Amino acid sequence: CMVVCVFCFFFLSAGKWHLGLNCESRDDHCHHPNNHGFNYFFGIPLTNLRDCQPGHGTIFQFHKYLPYRTMGIVLLTTVVLHYSGVIGRRSILSLMFLLLLVTGLLVAFIMVVPYLNCVLLRDHSIVEQPYKSENMTQRMVHEAVDFIERNSNRPFLLLFSFLQVHTAIFASAAFRGTSRHGIYGDAVQEVDWSVGQLMETLDRLSLRGKTLVYLTSDQGAHLEEISARGDVHGGSNGIYKAGKSTNWEGGIRVPGILRWPGKIPGGRQIDEPTSNMDLFPTVVQLSGASVPEDREIDGHDLMDLLQGRAGRSKHEFLFHYCNANLNAVRWHPQNSSSVWKAFYFTPNFYPENKMGCFHTHICFCTPEHVTFHDPPLLFDLSKDPSESTPLTPDTEPAFHFVLATMKEAVKMHRRSLKPVENQLSHANLMWKPWLQPCCSTVTQLCQCQLYQ
Q: How confident is the model at residue 390 (pLDDT cuts 50, 70, 90)?
A: very high
How far separated are the first and last CA of the chain, in Å rounded?
25
The single-letter code of the amino acid at 420 is: V
Do the bridges between strand 340-347 and strand 370-380 make them parallel or antiparallel, or are there none, so unpaired? antiparallel
pLDDT of 77 > 60? The answer is yes
Q: What is the mean pLDDT of residues 19-28?
A: 86
Give CA torsion, residues 81, 87, 92, 93, to 10 deg: 170
36-45, 168-177, 235-244: least confident range? 235-244
DSSP code of 289? -
pLDDT for 330 equals 93
Task: Collect all residues with Cβ–Cβ distance below 8 Å to 184 and sequence separation of at least 6.
Answer: 165, 169, 226, 229, 231, 232
pLDDT for 222 equals 67
Q: How confident is the model at residue 238 (pLDDT cuts 50, 70, 90)?
A: very low
Q: How confident is the model at residue 12 (pLDDT cuts 50, 70, 90)?
A: low
pLDDT of 59 > 90? The answer is no
32-46, 241-255, 357-371: least confident range? 241-255
Predicted TM-score (pTM) of the model is 0.79
pLDDT of 341 > 80? The answer is yes
CB-based contact 344:371 (threshold 8 Å): no
More confident residue, 177 or 84: 177
Q: Which of 47, 43, 18 is nearest to 31 (CA)?
A: 18
Average pLDDT over the chain reads 81
55-69, 120-134, 333-347: least confident range? 55-69
Q: What is the mean pLDDT of residues 425-440?
A: 80
pLDDT for 226 equals 60
CB-based contact 402:408 (threshold 8 Å): no
Do the bridges between strand 40-44 and strand 120-122 make them parallel or antiparallel, or are there none, so unpaired? antiparallel
Q: Which of 9, 40, 12 is nearest to 198 (CA)?
A: 12
Q: How many residues are there in the chain?
A: 452
pLDDT of 434 > 90? The answer is no
Q: Which of 272, 354, 344, 355 is nearest to 314 (CA)?
A: 272
For residue 146, give the H/E element and its range.
helix 136-150
pLDDT for 67 equals 67
The DSSP string of 73-85 is HHHHHHHHHHHTT
pLDDT for 421 equals 80
pLDDT of 128 > 80? The answer is yes
Do the bridges between strand 156-161 and strand 125-129 make them parallel or antiparallel, or are there none, so unpaired? unpaired
Q: What is the mean pLDDT of residues 121-136?
A: 87
pLDDT of 235 > 70? The answer is no
69-78, 281-290, 385-394, 443-452: least confident range? 443-452
pLDDT for 400 equals 96
Report how far residue 395's alpha carbon sits from residue 398's, in angstroms, rounded to the nearest whole number.
9
Half-sphere exposure of 285 (CA within 13 A, CB side): 12
* Highest-pLDDT range among 10-19, 39-48, 143-152, 270-279: 143-152
Q: What is the mean pLDDT of residues 32-50?
A: 86
DSSP code of 313? -
Strand blocks (E) in 113-231:
120-122, 125-129, 156-161, 212-216
More confident residue, 65 or 176: 176
Q: How confident is the model at residue 109 (pLDDT cuts 50, 70, 90)?
A: confident
DSSP code of 239? S
Query: Residue 10: helix, strand or coil by DSSP?
Result: strand
- Find the DSSP H helices in 63-132: 68-83, 89-117
Report how far residue 164's alpha carbon sits from residue 38's, in angstroms, rounded to the nearest whole number.
22
3-state helix, strand, coil in the chain (%, to 5): 35, 15, 50
pLDDT of 302 > 60? The answer is yes
For residue 282, give the H/E element and its range.
helix 279-286
Report how far residue 378's alpha carbon sits from residue 375's, in angstroms, rounded to the nearest whole number.
9
| β-pair partners for 347 | 370
Q: What is the pLDDT of residues 239-278, one digit of tens each?
A: 445 656 666 654 445 678 888 988 888 877 887 878 888 8
Q: Percent of the chain at pLDDT above 70?
A: 84
Q: What is the mean pLDDT of residues 143-155?
A: 91
pLDDT of 74 > 60? The answer is yes
Q: Is 314 exposed, middle or buried (0-12, 13-18, 19+ CB in 10 A)?
A: middle
Q: Percent of the chain at pLDDT above 90?
A: 23
- Find the DSSP H helices in 287-330: 303-306
DSSP code of 136? H
Task: Collect all residues with Cβ–Cβ distance below 8 Å to 25 and sequence separation of at least 6.
Answer: 434, 435
For residue 429, give the H/E element and its range.
helix 426-429
Report how far residue 363's alpha carbon sits from residue 322's, in angstroms, rounded to the nearest whole number.
10
CB-based contact 118:112 (threshold 8 Å): no
Q: What is the pLDDT of residues 185-213, one digit of tens each?
A: 898 899 999 999 999 999 999 998 888 89
Q: What is the mean pLDDT of residues 366-379?
A: 92
Q: How confident is the model at residue 391 (pLDDT cuts 50, 70, 90)?
A: very high
